[in-house]
Amino acid sequence: MEFKRRRMKGAPKHYKEWRDESKQYRVHWRYRYKGIEVLPAYYSCVRCVHEGFEYWGFTGRQGTYKTFRAAVKGCEDNMKVWEQFLAIEGRGKLSQFRELQQNYIKGTALTGRVILRDLPIWVMNQASARLIHILQGRKINDD
């Protein structure tokens, strides 16, 4: 993944933003939030969709990163998890999905559940209907 800084007209000096080549991932930096000075930090986000509404969701860790490189690694880790999700095939899709969830729950309780909670737009466009239904927890008839 290669991130390029996005120049925005009129952007305040306390905010910087970088996006990847597909414009699905972004890293932004700030040291002020709603007029209050906060510790300078990086956030990594991915474009997500829920019930037709688009938003920027966290890539996994719902918090800040101290360095730009760590934030980019968060984006790369998120992409890796979703590529593993898209690679699920065969008859045991549900069991493979549960195994993928279990692999990313190790450590803290937030790690895996946060990554697989927000559905990125690029995954929505590539995933089969069955995988989307498994992710959203709906039961459908397999005819």
Please give the structure tokens belonging to residue 29: 């930096």
> Residue 18 and residue 125: Cα distance in Å, rounded?
23
pLDDT tens-digit readout, 13-69: 677 888 888 889 999 888 777 778 778 889 899 999 888 899 998 887 777 889 989
The one-character DSSP state at 91 is S
Contacts of 10 (CB under 8 A, 6+ apart): none
Q: What is the pTM of this model?
A: 0.78
Distances (CA, A) of 69 to 27, 41, 129: 10, 12, 35
Query: Of 94, 89, 102, whose CA–CA distance to 133 is shortest?
Result: 94
> Residue 101 and residue 61: Cα distance in Å, rounded?
15
pLDDT tens-digit readout, 79-133: 998 998 888 888 888 888 888 877 766 455 555 555 777 889 999 889 888 888 8
